[in-house]
Amino acid sequence: MDQQTIRGQGRAIVAGIAGNVMEWYDFSIYGYFAAIIGRNFFPTGDRTTSLIAVFGVFAAGFFMRPLGSILFGYIGDKKGRKLALTISVGMMAIPTFLIGVLPTYQQIGLWASLSLVLLRLLQGLSVGGEFTTSAIFVVEGSTARRRGFLGSFAPLGASAGTLLGSAVGAAVTTLLGQSSIESWGSILRLIGLNAAFAVSFYMGFVYVTTYIRQVDHIAQSTALDINTVAMLVSLVLIPLIGALSDRIGRKPILLAATGGLFVLAWPLFWMLHHPEIALVLPAQIGFAVLVACFGGTVPAAMVELVPDRVRCTVLSVGYNTGMAVLGGVTPVVAVYTIQRSQYDLSPAFADGRGGGLFCYDTRAAGDL
């Protein structure tokens, strides 16, 4: 067996295992936390009835699997196994994340239960095409003598995914405690809010100074002067916006900030991509206003989102995870996207997509 064949088989095995691990981790985690999901989305007052409702929704996901098999079977045969696997895993990841940030029955009533059902159906649709496609992908990439051995890696990945879900569930429950697990949706929302804050801050103040020097060839002293003015604007606005949030609520301002990040990212970067100070300065001030909207509202919003019995744990985890996920890596991502795309405005698209996702996260945050 030549070296190229061995590498090809290795890539097929890794792809098959990775897809199944992610897919079945996402699918099984629902079952492991059925009791908590039942209390939050089907509060019937009777524990048994609540569990029946939760596992009924779990079963509904399985009924979508035949439809998923038709859809992804067609994609796999017509467009390729790799594309079918990629779409399937992506379709599983998105509803899994959205389930994590769904408002509960107490917050939006029946819409919470209906949304959960819809997202579980999407998960079932995804699973319907993933396992068989991954098995085909692995077996087709192997030699006739090793098909049995390599084909076994598909169910191995599925078992590893359910094992990972169990292990992660055990670790999270042990480290955070039952009361914090009940507030996991709040943790995810805090991660989203703080990630949006981190993106706007580190993009608008840290990376932009380097961006306008390299792209517009503006002198370092001028770039720092512009940054200083923008930060002064933000410094003045933060307490004013905090006071405004006391009058009109946190959510309208946070929606304006996340929505503004989504809508204005490209226009602001377009303005930054000019050597004229008359365009660059207003653009960076625009980022400063977005930062001020987050800075003036996020601290109070975080406290109000979380019950006091778990507030220190949830706020610490949510804030620092959000900063870790997108804070420090924002300049790296910006530089990398420009290098890969050879398009100077490409960081705006990452910025904008993040704003759109965080806007959904803010809308789901209940009353603020």
CATH code that applies to domain 3-176: 1.20.1250.20
Sequential DSSP letters for 227-286: HHHHHHHHHHHHHHHHHHHHHH-HHHHHHHHHHHHHHHHHHHHHHHTSS-HHHHHHHHHH
With 70 as the cut, is the pLDDT of residue 69 above it?
yes
What helix, strand, coil percent values describe the chain, rounded to 5?
90, 0, 10
Task: Let me know if 283 is exposed, middle or buried by CB neighbors in 10 A (0-12, 13-18, 19+).
Answer: buried
Cα(104)–Cα(37) distance, rounded to whole angstroms? 9
**Average pLDDT value for residue range 21-35:** 74
Cα(328)–Cα(176) distance, rounded to whole angstroms? 25
With 80 as the cut, is the pLDDT of residue 362 above it?
no
Tokens encoding 192: 């989203």
Q: Residue 365: name the closest of 188, 179, 201, 194 by CA.
A: 188
Please give the pLDDT value at position 244: 94
With 80 as the cut, is the pLDDT of residue 145 above it?
no
Same fold, 3-176 and 184-363: yes
Q: Where are the domains of the chain?
A: 3-176, 184-363
Which position has the token pair 């960081």? 347
Amino acid symbol at 109: G
| Out of 146-155, 158-167, 221-230, 241-250, least confident range | 146-155
Q: Residue 85: name the closest of 128, 120, 129 by CA.
A: 129
DSSP label at residue 216: S
Structure-model confidence comparison of residues 360 and 67, the more confident one:
67
Cα(211)–Cα(328) distance, rounded to whole angstroms? 16
DSSP, collapsed to helix, strand or coil, labels residue 342 as: coil
DSSP label at residue 144: G
Sequential DSSP letters for 87-98: HHHHHHHHHHHH
Cα(325)–Cα(195) distance, rounded to whole angstroms? 7
Structure-model confidence comparison of residues 273 and 310, the more confident one:
273
With 90 as the cut, is the pLDDT of residue 249 above it?
no
With 90 as the cut, is the pLDDT of residue 199 above it?
no
Half-sphere exposure of 65 (CA within 13 A, CB side): 14
Please give the pLDDT value at position 90: 76
If you count them, how many residues does the chain have? Answer: 368
**Average pLDDT value for residue range 340-354:** 67
**Average pLDDT value for residue range 47-76:** 82
Identify the helix (H) or strand (E) that includes residue 356.
helix 346-363
CATH class of 184-363: mainly alpha
| Out of 66-70, 204-208, 244-248, 294-298, least confident range | 204-208
Q: Residue 205: name the closest of 139, 292, 111 by CA.
A: 292
Please give the pLDDT value at position 353: 54
Please give the pLDDT value at position 8: 53
Task: Let me know if 125 is exposed, middle or buried by CB neighbors in 10 A (0-12, 13-18, 19+).
Answer: buried
Is there a contact between 99 and 116 (Cβ–Cβ < 8 Å)?
yes
- Give percent of the chain above pLDDT 70: 83
Sequential DSSP letters for 41-99: H---S-HHHHHHHHHHHHHHHHHTHHHHHHHHHHHHHHT-HHHHHHHHHHHHHHHHHHH
Q: Beta-carbon neighbour count of residue 42 at 10 Å?
A: 20
Identify the helix (H) or strand (E) that includes residue 297.
helix 277-305
Please give the pLDDT value at position 175: 66
Please give the pLDDT value at position 188: 65
pLDDT tens, position by position, 71-86: 888 888 888 877 887 7
With 90 as the cut, is the pLDDT of residue 100 above it?
no
Q: What is the pTM of this model?
A: 0.57
Which position has the token pair 């930060």? 231
Please give the pLDDT value at position 289: 93
Range ranked top by mean pLDDT from 18-32, 36-50, 72-86, 190-204: 72-86
| Out of 13-17, 35-39, 283-287, 295-299, least confident range | 13-17
